[in-house]
Chain A
Amino acid sequence: MYVYDTLDKSLLNQRVAEFRDQVRRRLAGELTEDQFKPLRLMNGLYLQLHAYMLRVAIPYGALSSDQMRKLAYIAETYDRGYGHFTTRQNIQYNWIELSTAPDLLFDLSEIDLHAIQTSGNCIRNVTADPYAGAAADELDDPRVWSEIIRQWSTFHPEFSYLPRKFKIAVTGSDADRAAIKFHDIGLKIIRSDAGELGFAVYVGGGQGRTPIVAPLINSFLPAKDLLRYLDAVLRIYNLHGRRDNIYKARIKILVKSLGVDSFASQVDTEFARLDPALFVIEDGELSRIRDMFAVSYSRAEGDDEARLEESPEMRRWSDSNTHAHKTPGYAIATISLKPIGGVPGDATAEQMYAIADLADRFSFGEVRVTYTQNLVLPHVRQADLFVLWSELERLGLATPNIGLATDIIACPGLDYCSLANARSIPISQRISERFSDLESQHDIGPLDIRISGCINACGHHHAGHIGILGVDKKGEERYQLTLGGQGNGESAVGKIVGPGFDEDGIVDAVENVISTYLNVRSAGEPFSETLERTGHAPFKERLYDRN
């Protein structure tokens, strides 16, 4: 884990003091709401449907157990005893008060947590592969580079008043568990033919009203040039991104209007103008950061014997919820926050405290947040998996559904969000209950169902194998169905199949899509591949022609 030194802590403390004063000035009327709002947003504080909502940053999705305990404490002390883990690896609290927010931020700062730049037209929390530093298929740890980008982007004097929000994601693996191509900048760590470490750079991806898979802008950026290149991209965006229309203000619109080649060449020109000396990341600094992420793995007595304890239930859990670790004898374990019929991504304070304890016992005190709204214990000895699973079972956190039909991503929707047109959580709950049977889920295989309550697409519906978009049709909630999206790896935007459904119809529609898949699939063919092979036709027929 990156550990704050004196400089990091000073910055954080000064920010807490600055925000306290900004709140004082607002409450005293020295700042109008129009003036205060961007300042408040840069500290992650929204005025939402029910109250103020605070979005706390979890840098690249990585938490220490003590930080998780603090998040639980915040939920108990300032909120209603729970928090929501988001599709940007952050956590949200829904019932916050402005007058006590400065105290809340002070409490967070004691454990190096904050809400800096989790909203507003600035560079947001850098997201990364939740299996960073653990996955067997990783070329280099994306947290190292995410931490460097975090520092470079925090309180950047030039880039804090951008045309719109700016999101950067990093992956160290081809598997791309960070969906980098759906970000303003996506970075994939690669090696050149000569073996030099660097990045493939994608710019101009995103979801929302105009979903776009980011084009490749630079096929190899040497690692040492990272910040200089980011600086060039951000300057071009700051100067030339549209400011006349918030729906056309993201960098994806600029890239599309200029054209990929022209955009890339403008970046190269700006890049060439920049003095490399201003952007050096010294070897000492790089090592300092890198060393903080190192873990001392060990093998213990009885490591091989523990296997004998496994039960069929535990094995089913480990089939779906564990992933290969780079170190022999270890595994990556995912804690599902998608209990059948539950609210996706929510955790109570009690659960958070319990997970912190499990992290200490089983995972070197580390927890990760995934953009799919689950949690991860990244370094678990295989010999400990059975005991871990037993503990999770006891806590109701052992749903064996990662990547399966009930591992649904749902935005907070109209139940919580003032931007929403329809509710998403109840739809997710009903689909989850419809497919609760674990045998069926494992038979269906990998299936990403994603639900957004409005076109802002915080539920990533564009990137779902099955995507659901809530709309308002003459005051009624209505749901559109898309098929064929893909988040990780070969990212793709899903396509609408036909007319929308009401809240009962959409659940039936999802069931019809899945049963169609089961009918037409070839042996061992996952949903996404069947859809690719057959196209929409059999699904449309089942959904619409039978009426």
Chain B
Amino acid sequence: MTVINIRGEAIDQTWRDVDGAGETDSLDSAVLSLTSLKEHIEALDQKSLSRIGARLTIDDNIKEVADSAKHLGLIELVFSHFKDGRPFSTAVMLRRDYGFKGELRASGDILPDQALFLIRCGFSTIAVPQQFSVEQFRAALSAYSVAYQAGSDDQLELVSDLRRSAVEVAAE
């Protein structure tokens, strides 16, 4: 699986899928389902949490691990269908309400055409679906240099709070 960053560059990624129980040590760099995470969460301190990731499906409720969420190293939100836009809001809430600072990854059924929206909602990496290429996602990420709304990314400069531009706007 190829994972790209907000500039559309493929990155090495050390997170590994782990399903189910095991001792705490073996959870290092593991991405757990929400159910598994809940089983382990009591036993983990902040430092350990930062080396663990959580994979949330569309129906998982992040509030169940609200307090711990901000300490996780990775949260992955899986799109069950590209038309179901709930993970966009979940991402915004994770960044804003839960203060999540780790890697926020989008995976599952995603179109390259959604890449910019993902980044601007706070995703920091995207798992490129098999049927698409890294190049297609990278191209989509540079489709727009301007925007009308505040975004989580810091790629666009402030023109006013309503509008964003990466280009210096000539004095009107």
Contact = CB atoms under 8 A, between A and B. Distances in A.
A touching B, CB within 8 angstroms:
yes
Interface of A: 5-7, 10-11, 14-15, 17-18, 22, 31, 35, 38-39, 121, 148, 151-152, 154-162, 227, 235, 238-239, 243, 273, 275, 277-282, 284-285
Nearest to A277: B161
B146 A10 contact: yes
B148 A162 contact: no
B44 interface: no
B149 A235 contact: no
B169 interface: yes
Interface residues of B, number: 39
B146 A157 contact: no
A17 B143 contact: yes
A280 B161 contact: yes
B162 A14 contact: no
A452 to B, nearest CB: 27
Interface stretch (B1-9, B21-29, B69-77, B111-119): B111-119
B130 to A, nearest CB: 14
A154 B149 CA distance: 8
Contacts of B120: 157
Contacts of A227: 162
Interface of B: 82-86, 88-90, 92-93, 96-97, 111, 113-114, 116-118, 120-121, 143-151, 159-163, 165, 167, 169-170, 172
B88 to A, nearest CB: 5
A281 B162 contact: yes
A31 B147 CA distance: 25
Contact of B169 (A7, A277, A278): A7
A238 B97 CA distance: 17
Given A152-B148, A238-B86, 18 more contacts: A5-B172, A6-B172, A10-B146, A10-B165, A18-B113, A18-B143, A121-B83, A121-B85, A157-B116, A157-B118, A158-B85, A161-B84, A162-B85, A273-B96, A277-B161, A282-B161, A284-B160, A285-B162
B131 to A, nearest CB: 9
Contact of A152 (B92, B113, B121, B149): B149
Contacts of A38: 82-83
A86 B83 CA distance: 27
Nearest to B144: A14
28 contacts: A7-B163, A10-B146, A10-B165, A10-B167, A11-B144, A11-B147, A38-B82, A151-B162, A154-B148, A155-B144, A155-B148, A156-B148, A157-B117, A157-B121, A160-B88, A161-B82, A161-B83, A161-B114, A162-B85, A238-B85, A238-B88, A239-B89, A273-B97, A278-B150, A278-B161, A279-B150, A280-B161, A282-B162
